Structure 1
């Protein structure tokens, strides 16, 4: 077989059905051998720390470009690549099934386009492996194109996405805005927090409207709850006071693997103090 030829397709046994999306994902996750069944993700994926203050991370590009499929593949690759050179070698048809694409031709094309998006953002490298498989190598979450290393160094801030995200079908049922807000909320690493929507464009590159839709969907799905309201003085209202909602992630996302989380009294947050009006 020459380098330009495609490998022969191994036919499935007579009467065999195609693996479902859920089965494909389960096989991929089992291969990760993560005993705590969580995926560590540096905060830099959602928000960068710059000399001028917090700035949006790579997540903003995926949301603004409506790249839900690319985000789904990125999170799954992050779960599967857990050691060694943090690469995974797999058929394009396997990745296609993992995002709900079952036609071989259109599925592989769709996955290829998503890999290109992630490669352009310098979140992955892609090369050709044996038998026509794709080798996907995870890079640093900050989009610098540097090699990936596990988070946990001194001062590194990261959060954990539990496997229940896939077990409970949220990868399939949540919209892109809801997925983005779940990642943003998780990155705060606090028991209770506020997310002032007017500041989200500057902090995360997410519009207030998109954030509002995402937060409402997470509440409707019992992933996040509006648990309180915090009042603060302001001249923007006639009374001199206004309120903002306080949220809390619900199990299994509540305080799950908070990484280098600090005590509540000293926990850092975007723009220094998210509780400020």
Structure 2
């Protein structure tokens, strides 16, 4: 009588198949162990202070948008999610990062990830070194691109930051949004209030993003129901015959509604109530 062989020794299609993108991202987010399930991001990534007088200049995101560098931004946001302590570094295989951005060919994925890290390194946002077992050790630096070591934001005055919720990945927005859409989501989130304006004509000066790209991103966010027009604001201007102009006032809808830093997400019903209570 032949003794049956244990099934654990047999090839398994499930075991051989590479992990999918959603599952890979879930493991990365779980690894972060962030109790708030949000990623803190300094406003300096979008808008830096230059000089002692606090003059504003566009941050690294402007360069990424101009270069159409979608993967570097995707990888940077994921890196920010997982590097939550210690020296703010993570050691991982390139194939893991490649799956996280939707590339499953090992050779193509490794090359694409290496190029993306190179872009981020040139912008002064990361350092990269060889890790154990063929992995790469990537360390996050300060968001202003100065090359300074990263520190936890908000520890002192004048260090504004906002939060990107894990739902950004869990609801698939990292795949649904274009690069301008992602940039405008970050800019809108950095306002850190329920109602705000996003004047397209000021985006080149403030954030280094063209008015056309800003408009595309805003329309995309509105189309997805992430950004909602809730009011209008009149202002003085010499660009109209009357000297008065009107621009829309927006609000971010859950799960991107601003919350108390470190607090819980605000649901849609609560957001509606808060907006109605505002003047």
TM-score by length of 2: 0.86
Q: What is the correspondence of 1:253-264 to structure 2 with a 5 Å cutoff?
A: 253-258=256-261
Runs of 5+ consecutive residues of structure 1 not aligned to the other structure: 1-11, 260-277
Find the aligned partners of 2:126 and 2:22 in 1 and give their Cα distance.
24
From 245, 250, 264, the equivalent of 1:247 is 250
Q: CA deviation at 1:152?
A: 1.5
From 97, 122, 129, the equivalent of 1:120 is 122
Deviations 1:155-191 (A, max 9, x none): 1111011101001100111000000000011111111
1:77 and 1:103, CA in 2 relative to 1: closer, same or farther beyond 3 A? same
Q: CA deviation at 1:195?
A: 1.2
CA RMSD of aligned residues (A): 1.5
Find the aligned partners of 1:128 and 1:160 in 2 and give their Cα distance.
30
Runs of 5+ consecutive residues of structure 2 not aligned to the other structure: 1-9, 263-279
Q: Single out whichever of 38-47 and 233-242 deviates more from structure 2.
A: 233-242
Aligned residue in 1 for 2:177: 174
Aligned residue in 2 for 1:202: 205
Q: Which one has the bigger helix percentage?
A: 2
Q: Single out whichever of 21-30 and 144-153 deviates more from structure 2.
A: 144-153
TM-score by length of 1: 0.86
Find the aligned partners of 1:43 and 1:207 in 2 and give their Cα distance.
18
Q: CA deviation at 1:240?
A: 3.6
Deviations 1:219-239 (A, max 9, x none): 111111111111224343234
Q: CA deviation at 1:52?
A: 6.4
Deviations 1:9-58 (A, max 9, x none): xxx95312221100000000000000100000111010012336321011
- Asked which structure has the greater CA Rg, the reply is 2
- Aligned residue pairs total 248
Aligned residue in 2 for 1:92: 94
Deviations 1:120-141 (A, max 9, x none): 1110111111110011110010
Aligned residue in 1 for 2:56: 54
Q: What is the correspondence of 1:141-180 to structure 2 with a 5 Å cutoff?
A: 141-155=143-157, 156-180=159-183
Find the aligned partners of 1:200 and 1:13 in 2 and give their Cα distance.
55
Find the aligned partners of 2:222 and 2:229 in 1 and give their Cα distance.
7
Find the aligned partners of 2:120 and 2:260 in 1 and give their Cα distance.
26
Aligned residue in 1 for 2:137: 135
1:103 and 1:257, CA in 2 relative to 1: closer, same or farther beyond 3 A? farther
